[in-house]
């Protein structure tokens, strides 16, 4: 169990998400007299989840236009990842670099045996070795914690909820089948919003986990805290363009790669940097006691 009960929070959020799905399933059954479309959307969701999960490394790497690097090309990155992988008793992942000045990093892959870690050119130029070690420890823990599966399932369920809600809005049953049109319209409008909020909360929870577990792996929470401070400034100065391929991969990155105001930050898949830094500093304080 994590100190902040993040595993329990994730399970609870998934429970709420499935409750929303079951609730709109009951409404669509009452309105149309059939649950066939709910099952159809669910099957589509399972299919897209399986594809995205199995090919998560290829999809994200392609989105960032990253290329594989050898140890001769990225000796520092190899040295750090090899040390941390050995410390965690896990296989060495494939390493990539994305040729973008926007500072960021991500890890992906369905399991440690099929994992890939990618750093942008911007983050490699920005971080000193200690900070880069903190970042890579964070990313490796996403793989070891099986967060790709968690995020894939959350995205799929959210997609099913949105699809079913849209079906209800345009093709839902009416009074002749005993359905409540106003309730169905309200649900169709609110359900996608609720799904987005829950998916965001799940992703934020996993970021806190990776911060905490990565700091334990490196035994240096202040290094990651320093890296996050730099990233908070760097991603605002050099954001990624909000292209759909990058938006789809953004939840994997250690920092929100897009520039945005307070409203966009509210719905970001990443928790506020100041809160992440404060938790890491508190963790460092406990280590000194």
Backbone φ, ψ for residue 105 (5° rounding): -155, 155
CA distances (Å), origin 156, targets 46, 58, 72, 135: 7, 18, 39, 28
CA distances (Å), origin 244, targets 241, 249, 258, 276: 9, 9, 12, 27
- Integer distance in angstroms from the first to the last C-alpha of the chain? 21
**DSSP states along 82-151:** HHHHHHTT-PPPEEEEE--SS--EEEE-SSGGG-EEEEEHHHHHH--HHHHHHHHHHHHHHHHTTHHHHH
Select which of 71, 83, 139, 243 is catalytic. Answer: 139
Long-range contacts of 180-186 (CB under 8 A, 24+ apart): 180/27, 180/30, 180/31, 181/31, 183/27, 184/27, 184/28, 184/31
71 is catalytic: no
As given in the structure block, the two tokens for residue 214 are: 């990565």
Q: Which of 127, 150, 166 is nearest to 252 (CA)?
A: 150
Strand partners, 107: 117
Which positions are annotated as active-site residues?
139
């Amino acid at each position: 169990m994590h100190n902040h009960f993040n595993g329990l929070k994730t399970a609870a959020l998934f429970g709420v998400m499935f409750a929303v799905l079951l609730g709109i399933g009951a409404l669509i059954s009452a309105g149309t007299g059939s649950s066939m479309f709910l099952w159809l959307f669910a099957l589509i969701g399972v299919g897209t989840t399986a594809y995205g999960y199995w090919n998560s490394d290829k999809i994200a790497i392609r989105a960032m236009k990253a290329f594989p690097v050898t140890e001769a090309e990225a000796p520092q990155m190899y040295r750090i990842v090899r040390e941390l992988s050995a410390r965690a008793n896990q296989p060495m992942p494939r390493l990539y670099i994305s040729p973008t000045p926007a500072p960021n990093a991500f890890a992906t892959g369905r399991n440690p045996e099929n994992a890939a870690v990618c750093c942008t050119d911007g983050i490699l130029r920005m971080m000193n070795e200690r900070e880069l070690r903190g970042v890579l420890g964070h990313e490796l823990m996403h793989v070891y914690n099986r967060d790709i599966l968690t995020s894939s399932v959350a995205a799929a369920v959210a997609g099913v909820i949105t699809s079913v809600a849209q079906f209800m809005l345009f093709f839902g049953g009416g009074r002749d089948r005993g359905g409540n049109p106003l309730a169905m319209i309200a649900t169709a409008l609110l359900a996608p919003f609720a799904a987005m909020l829950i998916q965001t909360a799940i992703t934020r929870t996993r970021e806190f986990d990776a911060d905490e577990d990565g700091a334990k792996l490196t035994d240096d929470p202040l290094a990651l805290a320093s890296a996050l401070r730099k990233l908070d400034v760097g991603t605002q100065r050099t954001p990624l363009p909000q292209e759909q391929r990058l938006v789809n991969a953004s939840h994997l990155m250690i920092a929100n790669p897009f520039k945005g105001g307070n409203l966009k930050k509210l719905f970001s898949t990443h928790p506020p940097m100041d809160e992440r830094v404060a938790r890491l500093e508190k963790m460092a304080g406990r280590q000194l006691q």
